[in-house]
Structure 1
Amino acid sequence: MKLEKIVECVLGAEMDKVESLVKEGLAEGTDPSVLLKEGLIKGMDVIGEQFENGDLFLPEMLAAAMTMKAGVEILKPHLAGGDSKAAGIVVIGTVQGDIHDIGKNLVAMMLEGAGFEVADVGIDVPPEDFVKAVEEKKPQVVGLSALLTNTMPAVKMTIDALQEAGLRDQVKIMIGGAPVTQEFADEVGADGYASDAAGAVNIARGFI
């Protein structure tokens, strides 16, 4: 019953209630990974479906993602070690020349909620900084965001830089952003393209 309430509160973006319910669940001895998967992630999966179907808009999705993240933050210390290993590691950032971050932040939050460890390298990120982050974090997935048409070439520059550094074969690259298309993803050699945050989570899951 508590898990159903957590799902409902994520859907309703009721942050205080989610935090209380997660704390209660832990106090009652519920497995933290169950609270994560059957409560928070389940709620966010429903939100993702509603968004993809056009039943929900970006501000509502962002509010739900922030609610889910608040619950995840409480669970994090209890998820360390044991069987609750991260689903995978994702390095994510907005490419050089682009300072937009709402979409990137939403994808990062949803990935965290889906159990991924996320290294957010920020906005206006030069190719060499992505290379450095991949060397340090050893992710399975790299997410590149471009929200402006004139910054799309930086996506290819980043992929090329990973190739030159000998890291391209070690990671799957997914890209997204308003002007980005599947055709562009194919053109620059990305492994995946998502038109929204829910799609990005599904792609990342498919890569692992």
Structure 2
Amino acid sequence: MSQIENVLKETRRFPPPPEFQARARLKSMDEYRRLYAESIEQPETFWGRVAEELPWIQRWERVLDWSEAPRAKWFVGGKLNASAVCLDQHLEERGDKIAIRWEGEPGDTRNLTYRELHAEVSRMANALKARGIGKGDRVAIYMPMIPELAMAVLACARIGAIHSVVFAGFSAQALSDRIEDGECCAVITADGAWRRGSVLPLKPAVDEACRG
């Protein structure tokens, strides 16, 4: 049997430029290895320190609980909101910086700052709440890879709803199965999605899935 020779071996190293390295959180591999070793040997100390960087709604009582091993419980008693972690804590210092830089299939582009994204997510979250959707409810997301997909995920997190992303290429039946299995009370979608040069209709598939 013939063998394919590996001709793509790469041994060169390309160190980062000094100005990039100066801004890096970790300045060397030695520093990285020390942190990695600490995370293995003293996980509660390491992750407790890292967690202090997040905007907790309610601080945890214990970093790690192994009382039901092998099931681990992390940050017992703590509460935070993923949407606030991704957006709110950045508004003061990074509000006008780009949060999402998007390019669509036909070549259209769109940039959203943290402040703009926060406003859109809040608007979508309020729209969900106005429809009676709240903490613990399941929401299916059947959308193309557009900024509104990220908004939908963050909006669900903001109100405590559980999101279930369904690949936009799935059929109406496949979508219906996932809506039923997830016990979803709502579906967030778009009229259509660009795919290989043409528009794939999504809303009709949602209508069919909901009828089923």
TM range (shorter): 0.3 to 0.5
Q: Taking structure 1 as the reference length, what is the TM-score of the superposition?
A: 0.40
Query: Whose radius of gyration is greater, 1 or 2?
Result: 2
Q: Which has the higher contact order (CA 8 A, sep 6+)?
A: 1
Q: Taking structure 2 as the reference length, what is the TM-score of the superposition?
A: 0.39
